[in-house]
Structure 1
Amino acid sequence: MRKLMNVKTALLFGLAVAGLSMICAENKVEARPNFKNIWAETYPDSKMLVAKKCGVCHPGKTKKEKNDYAAAVFKGLGKRKQTDKDVIVKALKAAEKMPSSVEGKTYGDFIKADEIPPSKKSE
């Protein structure tokens, strides 16, 4: 009887630990998905974000891949995980004025035309 009680206690304890770990193991969400929302607010008439979502800055299969436009925006951010909306908007506006890899065109020209800015890497 005592052995059966120990098995039940161990099982109950194991289930409690598993349940707590599932509750406490929240999905970590970084502030970076806000870039998409801020980009949409900054360029409300652009249909590019709806079509490409994060592909505006991340053309590949992973978020680690960034195009030249993303690098231009990153220069204005000041730090890797920027969360200040005003700083992000200023970085977007600054990148808009920077020259793209296409001679005579800025990143802003591509955004206004609802086209993904090309990268030197992809040419």
Structure 2
Amino acid sequence: MRKMTTVKAALLFGLAIAGLTLICGEKQVEARPNFKKIWAETYPNSKMLISKKCGICHPGKTKKEKSAYGEAVGKGLDKRKETDKDKIVKAIKAAAKMPSPVEGKTFGDFIEKDEMPPAK
């Protein structure tokens, strides 16, 4: 009888730990969640955001890698982790007017055609 109580207690303890892990576990958080939302509002007809998500500005495996377009948007921001919507919209629109690595084309030309801007 005593062995059965020990097994039940161990099982209950294990379930409690698993439950706490699920509840208190880390959630994945984007460093700049506003950027995707604001980009989608700025270009509402673009299907590129649905397929590429953060890859429009970050083509690599990490968010530290930036495409030429991502760097152009970054140049229009006052600080690294900008949260002001108006400043972000202004930076996105300014980047669209900047020349891309493809001679004679701006980043906006690619966005209008719903194509990914070239990486670099």
Structure 1, residues 66-107: CA drift from partner, whole Å, max 9, x if none? Answer: 100000000001111000000000000000000000011000
The aligned counterpart of 1:109 is: 109
The 2-side partners of 1:21 and 1:71 are apart by 38
Give the TM-score of the pair, scaled to structure 2: 0.75
Give, in angstroms, the shift of residue 31 of structure 1: 5.2
Instruction: Tell me whether 39-48 or 27-36 shows the greater mean CA deviation.
Output: 27-36
Q: Is the CA contact 1:72–1:98 (under 8 Å) kept in the aligned structure 2?
A: yes
Read off the aligned partner of 1:97 and give its amino acid letter.
K
Distance 1:58 1:31, change over 3 A: closer
Sort the Cα spacing of 1:72 and 1:48 in 2 relative to 1 into closer, same or farther, 3 A.
same
Structure 2: how far apart are the matches of 1:82 and 1:74? Answer: 9
Q: Does the C-alpha gap of structure 1 residues 24 and 54 become closer, same or farther in structure 2, counting only changes over 3 Å?
A: same
In the alignment, the residues of structure 2 paired with residue 37 and residue 109 of structure 1 have an alpha-carbon distance, to the nearest angstrom, of: 21
Alpha-carbon offset, residue 119 of structure 1: 2.6
Would the alpha carbon gap of residues 40 and 81 (structure 1) be closer, same or farther in structure 2, given more than 3 Å must change?
Answer: same
**Runs of 4+ in structure 1 displaced over 2 angstroms?**
19-31
Cα distance in 2 between the residues matched to 1:52 and 1:67: 13
Between Structure 1 and Structure 2, how many residues are aligned?
Answer: 119
Name the counterpart of 1:35: 35
Provide the residue aligned with 1:3 in structure 2.
none
What's the counterpart of residue 62 of structure 2?
63
Identity %: 72
Are the equivalent residues in 1 in contact too, given 2:107–2:117 (CA < 8 A)? yes
Would the aligned equivalents of 2:59 and 2:119 in 1 still touch at CA under 8 Å? Answer: no
Match of 2:5 in 1: none
CA-atom RMSD in angstroms: 2.6
Give the 5 Å matches for 1:1-123. Answer: 27=27, 29-30=29-30, 32-60=32-60, 62-64=61-63, 65-120=65-120
Runs of at least 5 residues in structure 1 that lack an aligned partner in the other structure:
1-18
